[in-house]
Amino acid sequence: MNTAMHWTTIGAMMLCGLAMGFAFDVYRVACHRFSVRRWTLPGLDVVYWALATLLVFRTLLNNNEGEVRLYVFLGIGIGITGYFGLFSSPLIKAISFLFRVVQNTLRFLWRAVLVIFVRPVQFVVRMIARVLDIAFIIVAALLLWLGRLALKPLAPPGRWIWRLLLPVRQALRPVGDAWRSFRTKAKQILDILRRKP
């Protein structure tokens, strides 16, 4: 491997170190911004390191056919150290600002969707429900009125039949009284049986 390829690989590894530092800051700010649960952090750390390793080996394959030498780690170390020494503090502020802008933009868009689409649909649905309620009340009242109107001619014959059934009703009255008396006594007996231990 020639010297130019060595320097190209070192430069690529330094860029990988810078990218890893930047990704770590984005990951750190996102976890703080969105209040990520502590128990999920080990899993997210594994995902971060897996992606960082994939980036490094992909870069190595493109630059020196995947050979891992000491200067590879040296380049990554220089990149990470340089990033955290020079860029981390201002970039954290910039990343936090971007997250705030994105969050506020998404919140605004969600409110706009609610106002433009969801609220009108809810209003229309409520109005339809109210109209249906009023229509149901009107139809029910109309049907009751028509029913009473239809049954009105049957009232005189009904009263006449009720008077004709007077002897039958008087004959059956003792049976009804006996049934009511039996039911009362049976209830009393059941109450007494329930009270016994």
Residues of the chain with pLDDT under 50: none
- The pTM assigned to this predicted structure is 0.54
Q: What is the pLDDT of residue 108?
A: 92
**DSSP assignment of 130-188, as one string?**
HHHHHHHHHHHHHHHHHHHHHHGGGHHHHHHHHHHTHHHHHHHHHHHHHHHHHHHHHHH
Q: Return left, alpha or beta for 66; rule: phi > 0 is left, psi -120 to 50 is alpha, else beta.
A: left
Residue 43: what pLDDT? 87
Whether residue 95 contacts residue 26, with contact meaning beta carbons closer than 8 Å, is answered with yes
- How far apart CA 124 and CA 84 sit, in angstroms, is 56
Measure the CA–CA gap between 76 and 13, rounded to whole angstroms. Answer: 5
CA distance 9 to 94: 30
Do residues 65 and 1 touch, judged by C-beta distance below 8 A? no
